[in-house]
Amino acid sequence: MKALITGITGFAGSHLAEYLLARGNIEIYGTYRIRSRMDHISHLVDHISLVECELTDPHAVDQMIKLIRPEQIYHLAAQSFVPTSWNSPADTLTNNIVSQLHLFEAVRKWDVDCKIQVACSSEEYGMVYPGEIPVQENNPLRPLSPYAVSKIAQDFLGYQYFQSYGLSIVRTRTFNHTGPRRGEHFVTSNFAKQIAQIELGLQPPFVDVGNLQARRDFTDVRDVVKAYWLSLERGEPGSVYNISSGTTRTIEEVLQILLTFTTANVQIRVDPKRLRPSDVDVLLGDSSLFQEKTGWKPEIPFHQTLKDLLEYWRNILRCKQQREGDQK
């Protein structure tokens, strides 16, 4: 079977590639751009087929789909950092919506018989009222960022192409997920990197933070990519599913757990630049619909997730130090 992962060089994309490889009997293709960082998949390049493709270019997408004719498409490529969407709203909307449109149109044009998973986001729910927690798939969408608006558009575009053209599309609204390789701008990874830098004497003993009172529903990325696979294996085309752990923690709790893994003397310091123009107070997902449909459930304990994330940054920074030392 041929599986195409858009954004294979990214956080979730690289973990999904690992998961599919471990399953066996799957020919894996992945999109990348000239400026894409390849470090997340450097250990996989001999086992996958990489395709240079700018997804905002309709001709490039058209030719890629014509060439590969995948049986599964996992559409993960996106501008996925909420604060960036405040600074570059037009780029976020264009990149996230138009890229997906080109994929759908190419699949239609070449009559490719494939299942498509669209990676949507819990950010779509936005302003969630206390009586609506935990959030189910039928909850009103009240977006609070340009990123959230872009993901709603991707979500509804997937529904429209299923209804209008019969494309076999499953949409997944994933709540916060983290683990090794998470981008350093995301809160869990940013905290872990700062702690690792303090341990190595690369920054003063202060962890800079933003809003510590927001509550989030975290799942390990390695559990999430398994859910992506199951969404196409057992999910109902045209449907949308929450993927979440069903528990919340404040950002402060996350930081305190990370601090239990270090002996460094660390102080916490609020950085006003890390506060958003508007923020979602609580995101807690109800994934019972998905669990009943697919049998999925999160398995990796959150403490293990954070421990693995901190160790990832320790390794990255130690290797960087060693390279710099060798060059002197």
Digits of tens for pLDDT over the chain (328 positions)? 999 999 999 999 999 999 999 999 999 999 999 888 899 999 999 999 999 999 999 999 999 999 999 999 999 999 988 888 989 999 999 999 999 999 999 999 999 999 999 999 999 999 999 899 999 999 999 999 999 999 999 999 999 999 999 999 999 999 999 999 999 989 999 999 999 999 999 999 999 998 899 889 999 999 999 999 999 999 999 999 999 999 999 999 999 999 999 999 999 998 888 776 666 678 899 999 999 999 999 999 999 999 999 999 999 999 988 888 777 6
pTM listed for this prediction: 0.94
| pLDDT value at residue 82 | 85
Closest CA to 213 of 129, 139, 124, 275: 275
DSSP per residue, 266-315: -EEEE-GGGS-SS--SB--B--HHHHHHH-----S-HHHHHHHHHHHHHH
Q: Where are the alpha helices (DSSP H) in 24-145?
A: 58-68, 82-87, 89-93, 99-109
- Tell me how far the alpha carbon of residue 322 is from its chain's centroid: 30
* Cα 88 from Cα 91, distance rounded (Å): 5
Q: Is 7 left (phi over 0), alpha (psi -120 to 50) or beta?
A: left
Main-chain dihedrals φ then ψ at residue 43, nearest 5 degrees = -85, -5
* Cα 73 from Cα 228, distance rounded (Å): 10
